[in-house]
Structure 1
Amino acid sequence: MANHQSAIKRIRQSEAKRGHNKFYAKTTRNAVRKLRATTDKEAANELLPTVTAMLDKLAKINVIHKNKAANLKSKLALHVNNCK
């Protein structure tokens, strides 16, 4: 166990950040799944900006890599364009 007060505080901060990051990453993954499952063009067009914003936010705060966010957004845009 940590012996210094600063180390104990750092552990608390890390746990809080981990919970925050885990929540937003999981929420975004679920939104991506929901968009991929959508076959209706109108519904997909409504969901795409929301999911894109979520991915951008995760990339901005370094929860996911910016290239991963770009790849996901690209694939999702292709999916939405190919919906009937």
Structure 2
Amino acid sequence: MANHKSALKRIRRNEAVRLRNRYQHKTTRNAIRKLRAEEKKEDAEKLLPEVIGMIDKLAKRNIIHANKAGNLKGKLTKHVAGL
């Protein structure tokens, strides 16, 4: 068990941040699935900038690696272009 006030606060903070990161990551993954399942090109093109913004935000906050973000964005863009 932690012996200092600051350590107790850090434990609480880490848990809050972990849950927030988990929520954002899961939300982004669901948005990616929704984009990949989209059949109409017009709808997919509208959804693509939103999803790319979500991916960029995850990479900026180090929830996912920057290279993974780039790979995802490239694959999604290619998928939408091929519709």
Size of the alignment, in residue pairs? 83
Structure 2 unaligned blocks of 5 or more: none
Shift of 1:27: 0.4
Structure 1 unaligned blocks of 5 or more: none
Counterpart residue number, 2:79: 79
TM-score after normalising by structure 1: 0.95
Aligned equivalents of 2:39 and 2:69: distance in 1?
22
Aligned equivalents of 1:39 and 1:76: distance in 2?
13
Alignment of 1:40-79 (within 5 A): 40-79=40-79
Letter of the 2:13 partner, please give it: Q
Letter of the 2:6 partner, please give it: S
Shift of 1:76: 0.2
Letter of the 2:25 partner, please give it: A
Counterpart residue number, 2:21: 21
C-alpha RMSD over aligned residues: 0.6
After the TM superposition, which parts of structure 1 deviate over 6 Å for at least 4 consecutive aligned residues?
Answer: none
TM-score after normalising by structure 2: 0.97
State percent identity of aligned pairs.
Answer: 61
Shift of 1:4: 1.4
